[in-house]
Amino acid sequence: MKNFALFLKHNRTKIYYAVVTFLLLLFFSWSIIIGVTRLQLYRQLTPVMSQWLLIVLVSVGSTTILIWQFVRWRQAESLSHFIHDMNRIARENSDSMIEWHAAYAPKTQALIDVSNQIAKNTRQIREEERESERSKDEMITNISHDLRTPLTAIIGYLGLVEMNADTLSAAEKAKYIHTAYDRSNQMKVLVEDLFAFSQTQAHDAVLNISTLSLGDLFAQLIASYEIEAQEKHIELTQITNPEIIMLEADSDKLARVLMNLITNAMKYGKRETFIKLTAQVKKTDVEIRVINDGVKIPNKDIVDIFGRFYRVESSRNSKTGGTGLGLAIVKGIIEQHQGSVSASSDDELTSFIVTIPLKQH
Q: Which residues sit at the interface with ligand ATP, rule CB under 6 A?
A: 193, 260, 264-265, 268-269, 292, 297, 305, 310-312, 315, 322-328, 350
Taking CB within 5 to 8 Å according to partner kind, which of ligand ATP, Mg ion, none is near residue 150? Answer: none
| Min dist. Cβ of residue 308 to ligand ATP (A) | 8
Nearer to ligand ATP, 150 or 269 (CB): 269
Nearer to ligand ATP, 160 or 328 (CB): 328
Range 296-306 burial, b when 16+ CB lie within 10 A, else e: ebeeebbeebb
Nearer to ligand ATP, 108 or 260 (CB): 260
| Min dist. Cβ of residue 295 to ligand ATP (A) | 6
The Cα 263–Cα 193 span in angstroms is: 14
Taking CB within 5 to 8 Å according to partner kind, which of ligand ATP, Mg ion, none is near residue 311? Answer: ligand ATP
| Min dist. Cβ of residue 325 to Mg ion (A) | 8
Taking CB within 5 to 8 Å according to partner kind, which of Mg ion, ligand ATP, none is near residue 323? Answer: ligand ATP
Nearer to ligand ATP, 36 or 265 (CB): 265
Taking CB within 5 to 8 Å according to partner kind, which of ligand ATP, Mg ion, none is near residue 240? Answer: none
Nearer to ligand ATP, 21 or 292 (CB): 292
| Min dist. Cβ of residue 192 to Mg ion (A) | 13
| Min dist. Cβ of residue 321 to Mg ion (A) | 10
User: Which secondary-structure segment (H or E) carries 293?
Assistant: strand 285-293
| Min dist. Cβ of residue 306 to Mg ion (A) | 11
Omega before residue 242 within 30° of 0, cis? yes
The Cα 150–Cα 127 span in angstroms is: 36
Taking CB within 5 to 8 Å according to partner kind, which of Mg ion, ligand ATP, none is near residue 325? Answer: ligand ATP
| Min dist. Cβ of residue 167 to ligand ATP (A) | 38
| Min dist. Cβ of residue 261 to Mg ion (A) | 8
Nearer to Mg ion, 294 or 322 (CB): 322
Nearer to ligand ATP, 67 or 191 (CB): 191
Please report, as a single letter, which amino acid is at residue 68.
W
Nearer to Mg ion, 150 or 322 (CB): 322
User: Which secondary-structure segment (H or E) carries 286?
Assistant: strand 285-293
Taking CB within 5 to 8 Å according to partner kind, which of ligand ATP, Mg ion, none is near residue 82? Answer: none
Chain residues in the site for Mg ion (CB under 5 A):
264, 322, 326
Taking CB within 5 to 8 Å according to partner kind, which of ligand ATP, Mg ion, none is near residue 332? Answer: none
